[in-house]
Structure 1
Amino acid sequence: MAGSVATKTAWKLQEIIAHSSNVSSLVLGKSSGRLLATGGDDCRVNIWSVNKPNCIMSLTGHTTPVESLRISANEELILAGSQSGSIRIWDLEAAKILRTLVGHKANICSLDFHPFGKFVASGSLDTNIKLWDIRRKGCVFRYKGHTQAVKCLRFSPDGKWLASAADDHTVKLWDLVAGKLMFEFTGHTGAVNVVEFHPNEYLLASGSSDRTVRFWDLEKFQVVSCIEEEATPVRCVLFNPDGCCLYSGFQDSLRVYGWEPERCFDVLLVNWGKVADLSMCNNQLIGVSYAECTVSSFVVDLSKVKKSGSILHGLIRDDKPLIQPIPTGSSLRRIYDRPSTTCSKPQRVKHNSESERRSPSSEDDRDERESTAEIQNPEDYKEIFQPKNSISRTPPRKTEPFPAPPEDEPLTVKEATKPSQTVDIQTPLPKQENPDPVQMPPIASSTPVSRAEPSVIPATRDQPIGLKASDFLPAVKNQSQTEIVDEEAMSQIRKGHETMCVVLTSRHKNLDTVRAVWSTGDIKTSVDSAVAINDLSVVVDLLNIVNQKASLWKLDLCTIILPQIEKLLQSKYESYVQTGCTSLKLILQRFLPLITDILSAPPSVGVDITREERLHKCKLCYKQLKNISNIIKNKSGLSGRHGSAFRELHLLMAVLE
């Protein structure tokens, strides 16, 4: 019945230090069972291959801890939701940000990809569920009904329904086409942590903190059975691919259940702790758990696990008769209708009071520019996301099963190289002597992002960024031909955009000038050089970097930047206003108390040159802040996103009056 390391039924595979701070979420790819994504309080998403020690890719852009993750069925895309309510979608193959979705007012607690259409669903602490069209960045529909945080979301295998589990003890089933609630399942007496559709039948399983697993019939809308009296809350569940049983992860065990009647086929003692997700690969069950900054992976050999049979002792309650299990393969209820193609999409709901639309804003574009995918392990990245013999990617190779540890040796824990917080790109891609344009891994972004020690902004890489012109054209075998085609394509793209090309070339040249000064380590002089160029776009680019690192700011930096902030706040460009607000808020929080204290202090006795200089800077900053406060006061009456930002700044500046 019970498995252990000694019998090689269940064993710990690996332990890695996944983040520089606490791990806040993790998820396995369901296609291969070998792709792992972790989210941390360090606001990063790190991508790993199970049982390999090094991080493959690190995704940055979120500014608050990453609390929910989901990998798409084909393992090409990853969804990450943050504590602030923003959602980012990265394309793992192209190593770049794809979309930023903004609209939730609190933590994102759950996410899922629709099986066919280009849609995703998100559930939040704000109790709302949103359906997003990722092609248009827009919220298609909002489902309201839960009264507490939505902890888990799953689309049905046929793509017609969405199931949601919440802290309010309920499971709800939503009709995507009609845009309304179909049924609310009640019965759990604690927060419902997980919900999962049966792969074939109209059956739903839910696991709760009330320590029960319930099975629901989706034709009759009633409870089929309930597994009770387990010792700890249910953390995660997974149906066997053929639908014969359900695996449930608890604090210290894996349990295998049947539901007609309710029975436990097997119990395996697996001391995995906070097990967060389960997946399958080569007749092995993979489980991942986390504690502080470490993530552990475990393997269960399913060939040694009972998936059918009689009721185990302890689950027969009262004098309930033992019912013979249904033969495997027979179905008591309706089977999902799968569409014949993968083009089928949920119908967009129109003209409905709950329907929401958002036009993409320049702030979203800024978010996407600031979100990067840093390739940290080029070899693993190329093997997993860009197989050499295939232009279209395949999931991580399903190689041999994970090996069990030797019986007579203690389990060795592999130490991982944790992704660095200090350097944007750890490992440059190796130069190839004769590169094939199709095989080159495209890299994410040339825009530097936050780092702990920004002494140097890395130069742009010598590899193409993102998509190449050749990606829009048929693949050409001969390299020289491809280069000609690239030139032709670029000249076509440039037609009609001469002005923009000139502007971007000039901006790039100006940023190179600033970068040359920055590389000396003198932040003040590099900011001076950006201001001297007299191009606000360059100032914005630089501020977007220094805003990420509060410790870079000094009082003399404020005296140079405040006049620039005054210009930014009055700009017609939304992204400039946003950057100006961010910088001003940082200055107010960090320096306003210091400025007011120094200005209100009694005059010093004797000569103190340092103090005199500081007093002079404070007076200058105070004068500049007074000028800006008038702009803030006038704009605090605006509606929308900027209105609230200006109102917050107005409150922070109240001390000036």
Structure 2
Amino acid sequence: MANSSATKTAWKLQEIVAHGSNVSAVVLGKNSGRLVATGGEDCRVNLWSVNKPNCIMSLTGHTSPVESVRFNASEELVVAGSQSGSLRIWDLEAAKILRTLIGHKANVCSLDFHPYGEFVASGSMDTNVKLWDVRRKGCVFRYKGHTQAVRCLRFSPDGKWLASASDDHSVKLWDLTAGKMMAELSEHTGPVNIIEFHPNEYLLASGSADRTVRFWDLEKFQLVGCTEGETIPVRAILFSNDGGCLFCGGRDLLRVYGWEPERCFDSVPVGWGKVCDLAICNKQLIGVSSLQSNISSFVIDLTRVKMTGCAMQGPVLPELPVNKLTPSGPSLRRIYERPSTTCSKPKRVSPTSDDDEKESRAEIQNPEQYKEIFQPRNAISRTPPRNNEPFPAPLEDDTNNVKETVTPTTDVVTPAVCNRKNSDQLQRPPVAASTPIVCQDPPLSAPQNKPSVVSAARNEPIGLKAIENKPPVISAARNEPIGLKAADFLPAVKCSSPTEVADDEAVNQIRKGHDTMCTVLTSRMRNVNTVKTVWNSGDIKASMDSAVAINDLSVVVDLLNILNLKPSLWKLDLCLVVLPQIEKLLQSKYESYVNTGCLSLKLILQRFLPLITESLAAPPSVGVDISREERLSKCKMCYKHLRALNQLVKSRSTQSGRYGSAFSELHLLMSGLE
């Protein structure tokens, strides 16, 4: 320890106000253990350095609360998922937005970066797991199998598997290249909150709300251990650097576990409340927690923690060469085969320039700390945050040593100096300061050493454009793998200039889709013309009958989109034809179909439900009234269809996402059916 008189095992480092509203996501950078990213209900992602009170960078662009955040292995990129189902990826060194990925229908609960390839995995409350290609800006595969929200995702150390944990009490393992589930681990009796792969061996640990941590052998996909000592749900777990023990964080407590046989080596009281994430830095365990708009950081001195069979080995695991990753004791199972490389840094994705992403920004709040943590692009190598000393512990009897809650400072008066040497580099976004940014350009054709002053309000690069062939944009709704090979999930063998991703397969897929779409649209146009011929006769019901008879739901949608704009065209006999089609639309996988079905059903309920209920409740008529009998017969049939739809609407009214509120409104309107 830096202070020989320090005697504490665990202590609070600091507490800061991280957002203007509640904090909804907190994550530590595992490479350095000194970077923290927070997401808040204010729709921002803020970047912090552990033990520093000021915000380094504020990332904006999301329009709904941020639900999850994750660093990549080198801590150069950060991805954030929002309540609306969108993902945004920022390049922290360049202070630029890279990608906006849209495809989930509900909150994005979990994220992870692939250890080698340019892929991101996301899990959502819509129960889907999606694999995204960052460079090609698209979803390359969707993994379906969970029945409830996906709370945690982790790629295996060799980059070949993806593990997902869910509220449905299960952990699933997916083969990335085959695009299928390998195994389902379902011994937990409560929602699974967190999972972690062993750094070396085929072993997986999972922590659950059932207050257990379970260890799984990934060769036989069998349970090999289960802890029973937890009294609260497990929220954060982390293997030690050498993989000899597992740190388990719960409310105000850290436990250290071994397995085969499972046993608890040590328990350390820590007043962190509900811990959010753990990381190792300089033989110290760093923990972060959140409470309302505040985050707190805590330190546990691992030299004072009992870890039988677990010896700390200095640097954090990701910094060790692959050929030195050896377990501390005899291995009981297979070791991950990670190919050694001479260059582990992935090729960089050029920042996007799409119109829908221009509002996403990375605002540098503290230029000095930014320069300290992120070297310029032209540096020989990136170094982690610049303080390699352990965090000093307060004295045992020092009760006033913990720093007071600090409000992050955003008023910066120091000018930031950047050195542009490469013509293909993009200018960093402006510093949130009242002083200009001074940029020094190298001489071009003639000596020009006079620095240029750039307005701090400018948001666009000045005279610089990235020259590249933009990769194709792939639809986020695609469910089939697109040109994925095993090599895509492995690092490059040589440190040569990154080769361009072959787009032939993607182009072939697009061409196939184009031919198919042309055929579909031609058939659709022919069917629409058939319905149009009947429409010109002025018989609306006959037009809808012809659209239904064609058996093409897209034509029904086209016709309903017109009728929804003209409520006066609707009659009771038209409702009889439309209601069975609405049931199909509400169960469709296409958002536009669901939207049209909801609008049509809402119109029917508002205009005809009072008539239907009054007709059914009226006493029998005396004598013969043919028109009244016909109306009563139509009302009975409409009532029957609405009762069937009521069950569907009720089941979907509680779901979250874009259409949750629409189904809730329909459910209220249908309350008159009871």
Could you state the TM-score of these two structures normalised by the residue count of structure 2? 0.61
Partners of 1:72 and 1:113 within 8 A in 2: yes
The structure number with the bigger radius of gyration is 2
* Partner of residue 429, structure 2: 444
Secondary structure of the structure 1 residue equivalent to 2:354: helix
* Partner of residue 367, structure 2: 378
Alpha-carbon deviation of 1:339?
Answer: 1.8
Alpha-carbon deviation of 1:396?
Answer: 1.1
* Partner of residue 512, structure 2: none
Distance in 2, Cα, partners of 1:146 & 1:75: 30
Q: 2:385 aligns with which of 387, 392, 396?
A: 396
Q: Could you report, residue by residue, the CA deviation over 1:287-339 in whole angstroms, capped at 9, with x for unpaired residues?
A: 000010110000000011111169xxxxxxxxxxxxxxxx9421010000002
* Partner of residue 33, structure 1: 33
Secondary structure of the structure 2 residue equivalent to 1:184: strand
Distance in 2, Cα, partners of 1:264 & 1:209: 19
Q: Could you report, residue by residue, the CA deviation over 1:323-378 in whole angstroms, capped at 9, with x for unpaired residues?
A: xxxx94210100000023388999xxxxxxxxxxxxxxx9x923310111111111
* Partner of residue 15, structure 2: 15
Distance in 2, Cα, partners of 1:162 & 1:88: 21
User: Structure 1 residues 463 and 268 mapped into 2: Cα distance closer, same or farther (>3 Å)?
Assistant: same
Q: Does 1:263 align with 2:246?
A: no
Letter in 2 for 1:23: V
Letter in 1 for 2:394: P
Distance in 2, Cα, partners of 1:431 & 1:61: 23
Matches within 5 A, 1:593-608: none
* Partner of residue 307, structure 1: 307
Distance in 2, Cα, partners of 1:480 & 1:59: 37
Alpha-carbon deviation of 1:648?
Answer: 9.1
Matches within 5 A, 1:214-253: 214-253=214-253
User: Structure 1 residues 461 and 342 mapped into 2: Cα distance closer, same or farther (>3 Å)?
Assistant: farther
Secondary structure of the structure 2 residue equivalent to 1:178: coil
* Partner of residue 158, structure 2: 158
* Partner of residue 406, structure 1: 395
Q: Does 1:341 align with 2:331?
A: no
Q: Does 1:427 align with 2:412?
A: yes
Partners of 1:256 and 1:265 within 8 A in 2: yes
* Partner of residue 530, structure 1: none
User: Structure 1 residues 213 and 96 mapped into 2: Cα distance closer, same or farther (>3 Å)?
Assistant: same
Distance in 1, Cα, partners of 2:564 & 2:330: 69
Distance in 1, Cα, partners of 2:109 & 2:374: 28
Distance in 2, Cα, partners of 1:494 & 1:101: 21
Matches within 5 A, 1:71-220: 71-220=71-220
Alpha-carbon deviation of 1:246?
Answer: 0.3
Distance in 1, Cα, partners of 2:275 & 2:420: 42
Alpha-carbon deviation of 1:271?
Answer: 1.4
* Partner of residue 354, structure 2: 365
User: Structure 1 residues 88 and 650 mapped into 2: Cα distance closer, same or farther (>3 Å)?
Assistant: farther
Distance in 2, Cα, partners of 1:209 & 1:461: 51
Secondary structure of the structure 1 residue equivalent to 2:357: helix
Letter in 2 for 1:136: R
Letter in 1 for 2:397: D
Q: Could you report, residue by residue, the CA deviation over 1:184-220 in whole angstroms, capped at 9, with x for unpaired residues?
A: 0111000000000000000000000000000000001
Secondary structure of the structure 2 residue equivalent to 1:287: strand
Distance in 1, Cα, partners of 2:26 & 2:186: 28
Letter in 2 for 1:383: E
User: Structure 1 residues 345 and 490 mapped into 2: Cα distance closer, same or farther (>3 Å)?
Assistant: closer
Q: Could you report, residue by residue, the CA deviation over 1:520-540 in whole angstroms, capped at 9, with x for unpaired residues?
A: xxxxxxxxxxxxxxxxxxxxx
Distance in 2, Cα, partners of 1:65 & 1:73: 25
Partners of 1:35 and 1:396 within 8 A in 2: yes
* Partner of residue 528, structure 2: none
Q: Structure 1: which 5+ residue stretches go unaligned?
A: 311-326, 347-361, 421-425, 449-457, 496-628
User: Structure 1 residues 111 and 436 mapped into 2: Cα distance closer, same or farther (>3 Å)?
Assistant: closer
User: Structure 1 residues 419 and 649 mapped into 2: Cα distance closer, same or farther (>3 Å)?
Assistant: farther
Q: Does 1:416 align with 2:406?
A: yes
Secondary structure of the structure 1 residue equivalent to 2:153: strand
Matches within 5 A, 1:637-652: none
* Partner of residue 503, structure 1: none
Partners of 1:20 and 1:418 within 8 A in 2: no
Q: Structure 2: which 5+ residue stretches go unaligned?
A: 311-326, 347-351, 452-460, 468-560, 567-584, 608-674
User: Structure 1 residues 106 and 308 mapped into 2: Cα distance closer, same or farther (>3 Å)?
Assistant: same
Distance in 2, Cα, partners of 1:227 & 1:478: 69
Alpha-carbon deviation of 1:479?
Answer: 10
Distance in 2, Cα, partners of 1:299 & 1:407: 14
User: Structure 1 residues 461 and 159 mapped into 2: Cα distance closer, same or farther (>3 Å)?
Assistant: same
Alpha-carbon deviation of 1:390?
Answer: 2.4
Q: Could you report, residue by residue, the CA deviation over 1:594-635 in whole angstroms, capped at 9, with x for unpaired residues?
A: xxxxxxxxxxxxxxxxxxxxxxxxxxxxxxxxxxx999949x
State the aligned residue count. Answer: 456
Partners of 1:96 and 1:445 within 8 A in 2: no
Alpha-carbon deviation of 1:640?
Answer: 7.4
Distance in 1, Cα, partners of 2:45 & 2:465: 34
* Partner of residue 53, structure 1: 53
Distance in 2, Cα, partners of 1:63 & 1:651: 29
Secondary structure of the structure 1 residue equivalent to 2:93: coil
* Partner of residue 556, structure 2: none
Alpha-carbon deviation of 1:459?
Answer: 10
Distance in 2, Cα, partners of 1:303 & 1:330: 23
Alpha-carbon deviation of 1:177?
Answer: 1.1
Alpha-carbon deviation of 1:399?
Answer: 1.7
Letter in 2 for 1:231: T
Alpha-carbon deviation of 1:285?
Answer: 0.3
Distance in 1, Cα, partners of 2:283 & 2:445: 43
Partners of 1:235 and 1:250 within 8 A in 2: yes
* Partner of residue 597, structure 1: none
Distance in 1, Cα, partners of 2:190 & 2:337: 33
Partners of 1:61 and 1:367 within 8 A in 2: no
Distance in 1, Cα, partners of 2:26 & 2:207: 18
Partners of 2:93 and 2:376 within 8 A in 1: no
Secondary structure of the structure 2 residue equivalent to 1:370: coil
User: Structure 1 residues 494 and 334 mapped into 2: Cα distance closer, same or farther (>3 Å)?
Assistant: closer
Distance in 2, Cα, partners of 1:477 & 1:29: 39
User: Structure 1 residues 305 and 147 mapped into 2: Cα distance closer, same or farther (>3 Å)?
Assistant: same
Letter in 1 for 2:371: K
* Partner of residue 296, structure 1: 296
Letter in 2 for 1:430: P
* Partner of residue 621, structure 1: none
Letter in 2 for 1:84: S
User: Structure 1 residues 230 and 336 mapped into 2: Cα distance closer, same or farther (>3 Å)?
Assistant: same
Alpha-carbon deviation of 1:53?
Answer: 0.5
Partners of 1:256 and 1:307 within 8 A in 2: yes
Distance in 1, Cα, partners of 2:108 & 2:366: 29
Backbone CA RMSD of aligned residues: 4.1
User: Structure 1 residues 233 and 416 mapped into 2: Cα distance closer, same or farther (>3 Å)?
Assistant: same
Alpha-carbon deviation of 1:69?
Answer: 0.6
User: Structure 1 residues 652 and 375 mapped into 2: Cα distance closer, same or farther (>3 Å)?
Assistant: farther
Distance in 2, Cα, partners of 1:234 & 1:494: 46
Distance in 1, Cα, partners of 2:237 & 2:10: 17
Partners of 1:117 and 1:344 within 8 A in 2: no
Distance in 2, Cα, partners of 1:649 & 1:345: 51
Give % identity.
64
Letter in 2 for 1:220: K
Distance in 2, Cα, partners of 1:269 & 1:109: 29
Partners of 1:27 and 1:69 within 8 A in 2: yes
Secondary structure of the structure 2 residue equivalent to 1:381: helix
Distance in 1, Cα, partners of 2:603 & 2:337: 60
Distance in 2, Cα, partners of 1:412 & 1:380: 22
User: Structure 1 residues 369 and 643 mapped into 2: Cα distance closer, same or farther (>3 Å)?
Assistant: farther
Letter in 1 for 2:420: P
